[in-house]
Amino acid sequence: MVALSRGRYRARVASDTSDIEAAQQLRHLAFFGGGVDGLDVDPFDDICTHILVEDGASGQLVCCFRFLTLNGGDEIERSYSAQFYELSALRAFDGPMVEMGRFCIHPAFKDADILRVAWGAMTAYVDEKNVEMLFGCSSFAGTDTGEYLDAFAMLRDRHIAPRRWLPKVKAPNVFRFAARLRRKPDPKRAHLRMPPLLRTYLMMGGWVSDHAVVDPQMNTLHVFTGLEIRAIPPERKRLLRAIAG
């Protein structure tokens, strides 16, 4: 199972209900703010593997996320993402898949090494399970599409899913950026407004849906994101496995 330490941080699999509750507390803080204590809980927590990234010195939980492992595309309707996207095209995918969800970093920690260790843990899990596709929902904070027009234009121009895997619209409120945006993206603004997790997916060859779901409950805009493991450039695979190893 996943367990690694790099520099100041260590990643491990949640081992009991107290670990999962700590993750739910961090998710609530990251997604809903620090004004009210609480837990972010949903039914998928019970069927997922939870990964914790901690400060090795203090034990402080600084990042968490969860994995749902599927044997292949015929199980895609079991995923969290299937609530929001019509994913029938992915039923034809014939290898093991993992949905990565509820990714968050403690708002008080800005260290880029946290994301590196998180990706190291993801890489270790993917290799351990012989996963062929990693997917999930990548979120932009807030529901104002106007803040992210350059980022969405960049997604439209460079990163839309291959037609054979393209998700269709299912959610009642979506922003069809691929069809509606006419602007040319400003690369610098697009980069700055792209969520770090999504940016990393894209650098490895990931792709997105042609629309964003407006999710008022989570106060986010999110795009379905897929990454075929065999499409990751060899140099990036080496870097990730160096962290994971």
Question: DSSP letter at 205?
Answer: T
pLDDT in tens, 31-64: 988 666 799 999 999 999 999 999 998 999 999 9
Between the CA of residue 133 and those of 63, 182, 223, what are the distances in Å?
A: 22, 31, 16
pLDDT at 172 over 80: yes
Question: DSSP letter at 160?
Answer: B
Give the integer Cα–Cα distance in Å for 46 and 198: 25
Give one word for 19, left, alpha or beta, with left for phi > 0 and alpha for psi -120 to 50.
Answer: alpha
Residues forming a β-bridge with 52 = 12, 64
Length of the chain (residues): 245
Give the integer Cα–Cα distance in Å for 75 and 135: 13
pLDDT above 90 coverage of the chain, percent = 87
218 burial class (0-12, 13-18, 19+ CB within 10 angstroms)?
A: middle
Residues forming a β-bridge with 113 = none
Band the pLDDT of 1: cuts 50, 70, 90: low
Most confident of 1-5, 156-160, 233-237: 156-160
List of residues 6+ apart from 24 with CB closer than 8 A: 39, 40, 41, 45
pLDDT at 204 over 70: yes
Band the pLDDT of 236: cuts 50, 70, 90: confident
How large is the average pLDDT for residues 156-168?
Answer: 98
**Contact between 227 and 206 (Cβ < 8 Å):** yes
User: Which amino acid is it at 212?
Assistant: A
Q: How far is CA 42 from the centre of its chain?
A: 17
pLDDT at 109 over 80: yes
Give the integer Cα–Cα distance in Å for 1 and 124: 8
Min mean pLDDT across 34-38, 39-43, 81-85, 174-178 is at 34-38
22 burial class (0-12, 13-18, 19+ CB within 10 angstroms)?
A: middle
Residues forming a β-bridge with 64 = 52, 104
Single pTM value for the model: 0.94
Domains, the chain, ordered by start:
3-244 (3.40.630.30)
pLDDT at 153 over 80: yes
Count of CB atoms situated within 10 Å of the CB of 230:
9
